[in-house]
Structure formats: C-alpha cells, structure tokens
A and B are shown apart, each in its own frame.
Chain A
Amino acid sequence: MDDKDRDMLISIGPQHPALKEPTSFSLALRGEKIDAIQVKIGYNHRGIEKGCESRTYIQDMYLLERICGICSHAHSTAYVQAVETIAGLQVPRRALYIRTLIGELERIHSHLLWLGVAGHEIGFDTLLMYTWRDREAVMDLLAELTGNRVNYGINTIGGVRRDLTKEEGEKILKIIDKLEEQTKYYVQIAQEESTLIQRLSGVGKLPKADALRLGAVGPTARASSIAFDVRKDDPYAAYGELDFKVVSADQADVYGRTVVRLGELLEAYSLIRQVIKNLPDGPIAVRAPRKIPAGEALSRYEAPRGEDVHYVKANGTDMPERVKVRAPTLANSQAIAKMLEDRYLADLPIVVAAIDPCFSCTDRAIEVEGKGLMSWEKLRQYSIDWYRKQGVDFRNVKRII
C-alpha cells in the first residue's frame, strides 16, 4: 500500500470508538473512498484452548462459556454436546428443551444488542437506547432463570443444572409477548425510516458466490440468500422437534442482514412459545462420568452470529487432550474486505458491525510478528525473556500454589 495516488493511510483500531474490541483496520483512502483495506485480528488471544488441556471437563465448560460475553450459552452447549457424544450420554429431553430455551433467549438478547449497535454506528442513537432498554427484559429474565445475566452456567455434562417451574414459564411468555410487539415496531422503523434505509441499503454488498467462497456463516450468509442454519440442517438440542423457518434475504447488503436478524427475532419468539408449550416431563440431567473415554467429536451450534464449531479430543483421563473452537466471527471476518470494496470510509463501522463481530471470541492463535511458528517451550521462554526486558521478572514473584 505505497501507491502515490492515495491520499492517506489511516488506521481504525486497535483502539477506536467504533470498535468495542481491539481489532485493526488499515485503510488506504482516496478522498472519502476506501482504496485498499487490511484487516488484522489477534489482539485478544487468551490461551483458552491451552487452558482447557489442564482443567477437568467440568471446569472447561465454565472456561469455554467465558469465550464470549454475548453468546456464552452457544460455546458451552457446543462443548458439552461434543463431550456427551464422546461419553455416549443420553441427555434427557427436558434438558434439551431447556437448553433450546436458553439458547433462543440468548439469541434474542444478542440480536437486540446488535440492532442497537448498528443504530449507534450510523449515528441513530435512539434505536440503540430503545433496543437496549428492551434487551434488559431478556437479561433480567435470563438472570432469573439461570442466576446470571451473561454467563448462565446452566449446562452441565449430561443435561442442565436448573429446572424450569410452571410460573417461570408463564413469566417468559408474558415478556416474550411484550418483546414481540416491540420487535414489530423495529421492523416498521426499518421499513419506513428513510435515513436508516439510505445508510444500510446497498452498503457492504456480498453476493452469494462471494459469501460461499469466503465461507460466511449465520445472518451474514443468510442475507446473501444462503439459507443455511445448523438448527435446521444438522439439528441439535430440541430443534428437530420444533417448527420454525430459516429466515433469509436476497439483498446481500447490510439492510438484508438487518432484515434477517429482525426475522430471526420473531422466529425466536415462536420457538420459545413452542418450547414452553411442549416442555416434556422427566429428569433434567443424567450422571456423567468424571473420566471421559478416549475418542473425539465435533459439535456444531448455530450461535446468534453464525455457526460455532467445537472439537474435543478425549484420552481417557478427566482432562481433554485437545479442545478446538472456531467462533463464527472468524468465518465472517474474511468477508469484510470484500464488503468494503469501493465503499466510503463512513460505511466501515456499519459494515464491520453488520457481521456482528466478536473479535475476542475469535482469537485462537497469536503470531509474534516475524518469529514464525514456535513450540510451546520456545514461546514460553520468549515471553519470559520479553517480560524480563521490560523489567518484569517472574522469578521474583512468590508462588502461591
């Protein structure tokens, strides 16, 4: 990017008001137009996969739940499903239904959050305030059902940890009715507010062929008329027994992604009503062994942002040998550069926001620039040396354990 014609090189991130998490976009601008873009992720590597290898299966569940602050249930369910497959556990149906219920409530709060963020990115703060106000109702509901607003901790290997009472079911239905009314109002705004349409329509185009080539998932792919949804195509939990349709749109732009998410909100309300109506009786969990027999499994989960994939390899001990997580943002972030081709600087925030990025969830690897691949021991030594150079010597730190 050293062309003389370009007006300026500008970097959005790693710290920038448009970004809620550290990522970096290097832009070459020609006037207001984006000429070239370089996306860089990897600022938030937390070593979670490695951490899993030295913790028990149950501990891992809580660790993996903390990958994402929004779709925590997606990660814990995907992991638990993989472990249950290896152990050959028969999860009770009631547990599957409760998992589905929490998963859909999570989708609602995630999509409402997205709608607000999208509004904020295009300077429509009123939408942000409205959706986040409504989102509080779901958050409080989740806190009431599971004990937590974000990391619910409702899953356990072999089922769920908390049962659902009849009164709680009725309360959910009441709140869902209210939210549905609000969502219909947002749908109306999306159809009528002209500045909103002007900012979203035709922005961040991702034709179907490109979406397939770049491996987009979730609402990003569905807005490019790829009607793929793990819930439908590879049903898990209770989705196989429930009636719902995969929402897709053919606009292939940010407006389409908004339409898809709004449609999914309405579908989620209907799913929750079905779950509560058809909630089977019975136990909520089966006893799981502490040591999981050797084997491996891959589990897929349709997180609010798209397909979440967990791979678990067991070696017969109480700790997994390997856990691999592919968060949906990794799949979608490939498409950002394509979506921003020939667009304006002003479109960058909304186009990036439209994949509903969760960069911290994505970072599974970190590359120390110019060092190539490193073995675990070498990396450890490198970090010790690096800190020593900064004046931090861990030899002087007292060991507590």
Chain B
Amino acid sequence: MLSALFNILVFPGLLFLSFLGTTAEYIDRKLYARFQNRVGPPWFQPVADLIKLFGKSEVVPEEADPAMFKLVPLVALAATCAAYLYIPIWGTKALYYFKGDLIVILYLLTLPTFTFFLGGWYSRSLYATIGAIRSVTQLFAYEIPLLLAVLAPALLANTWSLSEMVEYYTVHPWYWLFNLIGFGVALIALLGKLERVPFDSPEAETEIVAGSFTEYSGRFLAFFRWAIDIEAVVGASLLAAVFMPFGLGYAPVVAFTLYLIKILFILCLLTLARTVMARLRIDQMIDFCWRIVAPVAFLQILINLILKEILL
C-alpha cells in the first residue's frame, strides 16, 4: 500500500514527473530562445511560473459551469500522470503492465485534449468555444495517425502490451530501425497532441487569445499548465519506449540514463519544429494529417506486415 502511494506520488509519479516536466519546459524555452538569438529564462522559471499561478486568485466566469470548469484541469493532470505508470523507463518492464496496456496509455493521453475541449466549452466564452472546437477537430486529425504509428511496432512484436513490446525489441535489438517512418508520424502527431507550433491553432494567441484557456486563471490554469508540461514528457516517453526501445535491457541506471537522453532528443526535435515553422490553419492541419501523415502511417503498417511474414 505504502509503496503504491510512493509510486503514485513520488517516483515515478507526480513529484518526479513534475520535476521532469518543468525541466522539459525549461529546456524547450531555453533552446527556443537560443535558436531565436535570445537569452531565455533561468532554470527555475517554469517552477516559478507555476508557483506564481497557484498564488493568484482565480476567476470563474459567471456563465461557466463551475463544477466542470474546476474539475477538468485536475482530470488532465491525473490522466497524464496515470499514463506514465505503464511506460517502461528503467527496464523492459513498466511499473504496472497487463495485456493491452498500450491502448490504455493512448486513451489516457487522449483525455487531456478532451479536458481542453470541456474546459473551453464550459467556460462559455466565444474565444474559448472556438479553441475548444479546434482542439477536438485537431484530435481527429492526429489521433488516428498516432494510433496507426504505434500499432505498427506492436504488430511486429505481436502484442498489445508496451512492456512486452519492449521485451521483444530487446531480444531483437535492431528491429526498431524498421519503425523509423512510424517514428516520424508519431512525432508529428505528438506536435498536434501538445498543441505546439505548427499545430497550435487551438490556442492561437493572435486569433482566439488563448483558446480553451482564455477564461482560466489562478490555480486552475496552473493545473492545466502543469498537465501540459507532464504531457510533453509522457508523450516523449511513449515515443521513446515504442520507437527507441534499445538499451532498456541493461542495468537500470544505464537504461534510465539512456531513457533521459532519448526523451531529451525527442523534446529537442519538438522545439526545433516550433522554431522553424509557422502556425498552420486548422483546415491546412487536417488536410496535411489525412492526406499525407495517415497514408504514411499506413505504409509503415504495410511494411511491418510484410516484415512479419519474412522474419517469423
């Protein structure tokens, strides 16, 4: 019981994730700033921002549904943290695993987007409503490619459990190279999931102020920000486990260090993307995802199906 509580709240749960999340945000912001020839924030800035937000008073719009408005940020945070428990980070086995946990992880990672939608929808503000609708529209565009991209390596490993997948790729150490196309697709989908440039139209500042978060303030906004920080790490961890499963068979310390390097690499790629690109319109985003990204994801599945016939 006590160890489960420790797992949920400290390691690898909330506290550790928060540390990783704020560090990831710092790295993202610093790198973004350096790419743009700016100085960037000091290392404690993301934590300071969160503490500041928690200290501020919150305003709940009169027309908003107060219960939903206050509840959804917590759901976002809880869902992202829960997903992390099923991702192997220091060995081939995650803390908790069962047959089919991959689906659960993907489901839990879809929840934050739905909370963005619900939060925006129940704030009843026009900007928030448009942002909420865009969030969900975008969800339909990237979620299927992400699912297909993650499905391909799972097909090869012949399992629906992330931990078993990692075990399979540890036994066949070079097979992850087959999934590189899927990795590209998943990266694009992750950009959409995290609502980062070029797919940040749900919170496009110059059009709809802050999208779903327009009416959020104080600790409710802080919970959202916290959840988004953690979501970035969890998303990167999922990609690292699925597409870069090498090295997880070594000693836990080595595997964990490798894991940190892997997510750092993925986070740097995300930052690079948002540095060099402009924001796409929501219609362009959907066009891009359905016309190019989804077919490419299918191609990966096709390749893996053929490989399966050859290799097994």
Binding site for B on A (CB under 8 A): 8, 10, 16-18, 29, 32, 119-127, 129-130, 133, 193, 195-196, 198-199, 344-349
Contacts and interface: CB of A to CB of B under 8 A. Distances in A.
A32 B129 contact: no
25 contacts: A10-B127, A17-B206, A17-B209, A18-B206, A29-B130, A121-B206, A122-B278, A122-B279, A123-B197, A123-B198, A123-B205, A123-B278, A124-B197, A126-B35, A126-B275, A130-B36, A130-B37, A133-B37, A193-B278, A195-B280, A199-B284, A344-B283, A345-B130, A346-B204, A347-B281
A198 B288 CA distance: 11
A18 B30 CA distance: 25
Interface of B: 35-38, 126-127, 129-130, 197-198, 200-201, 204-209, 275-284
Contacts of A121: 206
Contacts of A130: 36-37
Contacts of A347: 281
Nearest to B275: A126
A29 B279 CA distance: 21
B276 A193 contact: yes
A345 B277 contact: no
Nearest to B276: A126
A344 B281 contact: yes
B283 A198 contact: no
Contacts of B284: 198-199
Contacts of B201: 346
B277 A195 contact: yes
A151 to B, nearest CB: 27
A384 B206 CA distance: 38
Interface centre among A8, A123, A195 (most CB of B within 10 A): A123
A123 B206 contact: yes
A347 B201 CA distance: 11
Contact of A32 (B127, B277, B278, B282): B282
Nearest to A121: B206
A36 to B, nearest CB: 16
A346 B201 CA distance: 8
Contacts of B278: 119, 122-124, 127, 193, 195-196, 198-199
A123 B205 CA distance: 8
Given A8-B129, A193-B277, A344-B281, A125 B207 contact: no
A346 B282 contact: yes
Contacts of A125: 36, 197
A247 B88 CA distance: 59
B280 A349 contact: no
Sorted nearest first, the 7 A-B pairs with minimum C-beta distance are A123-B279, A124-B278, A129-B36, A18-B206, A349-B206, A195-B278, A346-B281
